[in-house]
Amino acid sequence: MAQTHRLRYPRRVFVRSLIRLFGRAVGALAARPEVTGQENLPPKGPLILVGNHIAIIEVGMMMTYTPYPLEVMAAGDIPLDPRYRWMADLWGFIPIKRGSMDRGGMNMALDVLEQGGVVGLFPEGGIWETTIRQARQGVAWLSSKANAPIVPIGFGGIEGALTKMLRFERPRMTMNIGQPIPPIRTDVPGRARKDVLQEGADYVMQRIAELIPADERRVRKQPYVSETFNFKMELSSPDGVALPIPDELEIVDKHGLSKLFHRPVMMDVFKRNLNLPVRPLLNTRRASAPADIVASTQAILTYLDGNKYFFHYRFGHSDGEAMMRGLKQLHDAAVWMAETYPEARLRLKPIRRYIRVDTNQEVEEDAPAEMHEM
């Protein structure tokens, strides 16, 4: 009996070919792309392409500068950014519910590989942090199940490139394609399968890191040290007189809450992808009505009720829990303020301190500037 596949491969061949040609034309006009190592790409699958990921451009380059009708694995636990959704819908992708082992999405990718197809993914799992992160085990699981080799790709010049392209500055972007990694083996005597999968995924990430331009590799590994966070609230009357905040309303999980505010991509997700009413949380240099803070935090907490591991997947269990508790503490404090001082103004002060590696300069940030540009 013939096997029924969840996703037939290849699909949308004509459309994807046109997109690839269009992407190369736009890339040549708007940027200065440099692609090396194309001779390392096998003529056919099964094959897994993997790369580092800090922006949407790597996805476009992977689709454009490889010769396959590539199946890309992308976020399925949140709606895609409306600015790029049209491209994803046109190309088609495999949605993955991150934060848990999404058997449906993983099996779709496995079906593609079993048909001799090519799958593209980014083992770090997202763009939530600026440093190179531990790889997710999914890449090793797919490789071992499908007996598929893995081709590592290191991208460079990506950060800020889209803005430069829109300004017609033609940024230089690199895509370094490495030699294939043999299929990951999990039948290692005396070793737990989970440990072997993680070692395989970490090795893949190491090979990717070696292909990132050296100057960017150093920055991404450790752009700063001694990073600490604090969080303060300032409540004032309409005429600017400071109002007291009871000690019991002080934010306990200052580190988690402030770190959330200092990862602007998260607030961007709440605003753009999820369309939540978080505008009062975006410009923390301006005071807001406590009732507005209540509405914003409640919207996020309601969403998290249905996606409990949203922060955990992106920042780890400890920071994820601290972020959730911090949001709840901020919400409860704002509720009291809205009831006690309905006309008051509340200013949030997420504070981040760190030392820059390149200058050894100590820096204190009251709030991330990027949030004020959203």
Q: How confident is the model at residue 335 (pLDDT cuts 50, 70, 90)?
A: very high
pLDDT at 98: 58
pLDDT at 130: 45
Burial of 244 (0-12, 13-18, 19+ CB in 10 A): exposed
CATH number of 13-219: 3.40.1130.10
pLDDT above 70 as % of the chain: 88
Among the ranges 105-114, 219-228, 320-329, which has the highest mean pLDDT value? 320-329
Q: Is the pLDDT of residue 188 over 60?
A: yes
Which ranges of 42-137 does DSSP label H, i.e. alpha helix? Answer: 57-64, 82-91, 103-114
pLDDT at 166: 86
Where is average pLDDT lowest: 34-48, 146-160, 220-234, 334-348?
220-234
Q: Is the pLDDT of residue 76 over 80?
A: no
pLDDT at 112: 95
Q: Are 152 and 122 in contact (CB under 8 A)?
A: no
Domain positions in the chain are 13-219, 224-373
**Does 133 or 140 have the greater pLDDT score?**
140
| pLDDT digits 0-9 by tens, 254-288 | 999 999 998 877 888 888 888 899 999 988 888 99
Contacts of 314 (CB under 8 A, 6+ apart): 125, 126, 128, 129, 266, 320
List the one residue out of 34, 28, 38 whose CA is nearest residue 172: 34
**End-to-end CA distance of the chain, in Å?**
54
- The strands making up 71-75's β-sheet, listed across from edge to edge, are 32-36, 172-177, 150-156, 47-51, 118-121, 71-75, 94-96
**Does 18 or 78 have the greater pLDDT score?**
18
| pLDDT digits 0-9 by tens, 87-105 | 778 888 888 765 555 577 8
Q: How crowded is residue 114: how many other Cβ atoms within 10 Å of its Cβ?
A: 18
| pLDDT digits 0-9 by tens, 174-187 | 999 999 999 999 88
Task: Give the strand pairing for 118-121 and 224-236.
Answer: unpaired
pLDDT at 229: 94
